């Protein structure tokens, strides 16, 4: 059976023609018979989560060690002593709850350096796809991450301590809000791991006195 939809003067006519036969049926619907599904968005709202709900890093050569109580988070490209950071935020902690129908217009993941940058490097933020805990994560049991990088940010040689490094993570955050993905946070890695002589960079963790990880989300409810 084939179908043709014809619109004329605000009315819709659906005509179905059986293959190889004469006209079988004709159905006419006016606009009043149609139900529109729409959502009216309100004014933009910004939620700043000024500290991570959980953060830690893992060390390749110390594969069973956990660093959840440390005041710093370390990323390193070294092949033998690779370091990766894990950070997560509780979106439910926003003072005005973000509705599942909200449209996220901006989401910035921010880490602040605790030391001077020893090289010009690119760091990748990738959505984490399985659960982990601040006091339990190690290199051995580190959670899986998405196959594609969510966002990348560069730090230049000599960048001062206190430099804010920012990743745009709109897509991940939108998925967390709607529930199409579980909010397990992000993994931060050097984009070129495996170097014979690696470069490391240290960030402040949520246990630090200042410069803690932030997630700044702007959305329209």
Q: Is the pLDDT of residue 160 over 50?
A: yes
pLDDT tens-digit readout, 161-202: 999 999 999 999 999 999 999 999 999 999 999 999 899 999
Q: Are 77 and 195 in contact (CB under 8 A)?
A: yes
Beta strand residue intervals within 61-213, DSSP E: 72-76, 83-88, 103-112, 121-127, 151-155, 164-168, 186-190, 200-204
Domain parsing of the chain, residue ranges: 2-33, 45-220
Q: Is the pLDDT of residue 42 over 50?
A: yes
This prediction has a pTM of 0.82
Question: For a pLDDT cut of 90, what percent of the chain falls above it?
Answer: 79
pLDDT tens-digit readout, 80-136: 999 999 999 999 999 989 999 999 999 999 999 999 999 999 999 999 999 999 999
Provide the terminal-to-terminal Cα distance of the chain, rounded to the nearest Å.
43
∠ Cα 148 206 88 (to 5°):
30
């Amino acid at each position: 059976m084939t179908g043709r939809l014809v619109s004329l003067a605000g009315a819709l006519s659906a005509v179905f023609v059986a293959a190889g036969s004469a006209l079988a049926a004709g159905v006419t619907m006016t606009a009043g018979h149609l139900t529109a599904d729409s959502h009216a968005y309100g004014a933009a709202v910004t939620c700043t989560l000024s500290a991570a709900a959980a953060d830690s890093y893992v060390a390749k050569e110390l594969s069973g060690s956990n660093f959840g109580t440390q005041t710093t988070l370390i990323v390193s490209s070294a092949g033998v002593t690779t370091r990766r950071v894990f950070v997560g935020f509780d979106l439910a902690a926003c003072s005005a709850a973000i509705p599942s129908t909200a449209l996220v217009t901006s989401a910035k993941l921010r880490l602040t350096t605790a030391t001077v940058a020893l090289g010009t490097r690119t760091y990748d933020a990738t959505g984490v796809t399985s659960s982990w805990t601040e006091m339990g994560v190690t290199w051995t049991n580190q959670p899986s991450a998405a196959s594609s990088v969510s966002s990348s940010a560069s730090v230049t040689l000599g960048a001062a301590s206190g430099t804010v490094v920012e990743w745009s993570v709109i897509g991940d955050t939108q998925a967390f809000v709607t529930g199409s993905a579980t909010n397990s946070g992000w993994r931060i890695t050097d984009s070129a791991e495996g170097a014979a002589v690696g470069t490391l960079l240290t960030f402040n963790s949520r246990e630090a006195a200042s410069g803690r990880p932030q997630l700044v989300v702007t959305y329209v409810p």
